[in-house]
Amino acid sequence: MIHKATGNLLKADAEALVNTVNCVGFMGKGIALQFKQAWPENFEAYAKACKAGEVRPGRMFIWETGRLVNPKYIINFPTKRDWRGKARIEDIRDGLRALVSDVRRLGISSIAVPPLGCGNGGLNWREVRPLIEAAFAGVSNVKVSLYSPGGAPEPKTMPVKTKKPGMTPARALFIKLMHQYGALNYRRTLLEIQKLGYFLQEVGENLRLRYEAGLYGPYAANLNKVLERIEGHFIRGYDDSQKPDTDIELLPGVVEEADAVLTKHSESVARLKRVADLIQGFETPYGMELLSSVHWVCTHHSPTANTADAAVGAVHKWNDRKREMFRADHVRIAYDRLKELTWIH
C-alpha cells in the first residue's frame, strides 16, 4: 500500500529507509548528506563497498542498523553512477526491481522512499513516480511511504549523529568571529561566513581555504566541507544547498569552548581582532561582499587595482550583478577602509 508522505524521511516510522546514492562513495548533497550525518556508520560501510566495486546500478547496498526498533535497515539505492553526473531512468527501473526483491527477501513490512533520481539527479518526478507505484503494486502487504520532491525539512531539524570533531584553533577562530559578527544582531549567513574566512586567511591565518573569484566575491568551495563537519556539533543550519542567504546559528557552549582553546594562541587572537576592526560598519551581506570584492581586485586580480578608480572599474567588470549593485562611491569607501587599515598598499 502506497501513501503520500511529507516531512523528514529520516524520522519516518518504517522498517527500512531508502537513501539515494552514487556509485563512487560520496554523500555530499541532498538526502545522501542527511543520511551521512544521521547514520555515519552506514556511510563508512557504503564508502568501503564503493571502493570494492560492490555498489552499482540495479543493486541495493543494504546496511542493518542493529536496532530493535525502526529503522532496522538503511537501503542505499544507486541512482547516479558518478556524483557529478545525472541519474538515468533505466537505473531507476533496474533498481526498483532489485529493491522490491530485497523487500520481499527480508520480509520488510514498511519502507520510506524518497523521490528517486529527482532533485540533484535531474529526473522528472512525473516520470519516476509511476515507476515506483508500479514496482510496489505487487507487494500490497508492504506499507510504502512515498516522499515527493521539494518537501525537505529545515536543516536545523535534521538529526546529526556524526562524531563530534575536536575544537581546533581554526574552528575556534571561526566560531569567535561568527559570534562577534552575530552579537550585533545581524543575520549570520553563508555569504558572510565565506567572507569572514577570507579575511581571516588573508591576515595570515593558515586555514587552507582555496578562494576563487565567485559570483558573490571571494569564494572557497572547500569551506563547505568545514561547515558540514561541524554542523550539529558547533553550528546549526548548514545544508547542501549552499545558498548564500542560509542562516547559521552557533550552538550553546561553543563560544566558551572556543575561548578556552584560543587562550594558548595569542597571535591568532590578534589576527581575529584585526579582522573585527576591518569589518566594523560593513556587517551586512552587502557590506561584506563589497569589502571582500574590493580587497580581491586590489590583491589577487590581474592587473591589481592600485587606486580607488581602478578598484571601481575592476569591481564593475567582475560581473553584471556587481556593476548594478555596487555604487562607485561605495567601492571607494571600501577601498579607503582597506587602505587606512593597511590591508592594501
Q: Which cell numbers in the block locate residue 316?
A: 564593475
In sequence order, the β-bridge partners of residue 249 are: 236
**Parallel, antiparallel, or unpaired: how do β-strands 217-220 and 211-214 relate?**
antiparallel
Please name which of 92, 321, 108 lies closest in space to residue 215, comparing C-alpha atoms. Answer: 321
- Residues 14, 71: contact at Cβ < 8 Å? yes
- Residues 120, 29: contact at Cβ < 8 Å? yes
Q: Active-site residue 80, yes or no? A: yes
Please name which of 21, 120, 35, 2 lies closest in space to residue 76, comparing C-alpha atoms. Answer: 21
Q: How many CB atoms lie within 10 A of CB 131?
A: 17
Residue partners of 271: CB distance under 8 A and separation at least 6: 173, 200, 203, 204, 205
How far is it, in rounded angstroms, from Cα 60 to Cα 80?
Answer: 13
Q: Which cell numbers in the block locate residue 80?
A: 547516479
How far is it, in rounded angstroms, from Cα 286 to Cα 334?
Answer: 11
Please name which of 151, 134, 73, 141 lies closest in space to residue 104, comparing C-alpha atoms. Answer: 141
- Residues 54, 44: contact at Cβ < 8 Å? no
Catalytic residue among 80, 176, 195, 322: 80
Residue 243: C-alpha distances to residues 72, 117, 191, 215, 326 (Å): 34, 21, 8, 12, 21
Burial zone of 96 (CB within 10 Å; 0-12 exposed, 13-18 middle, 19+ buried): buried
- Residues 200, 296: contact at Cβ < 8 Å? no
- Residues 86, 121: contact at Cβ < 8 Å? yes
- Known catalytic residues are 80
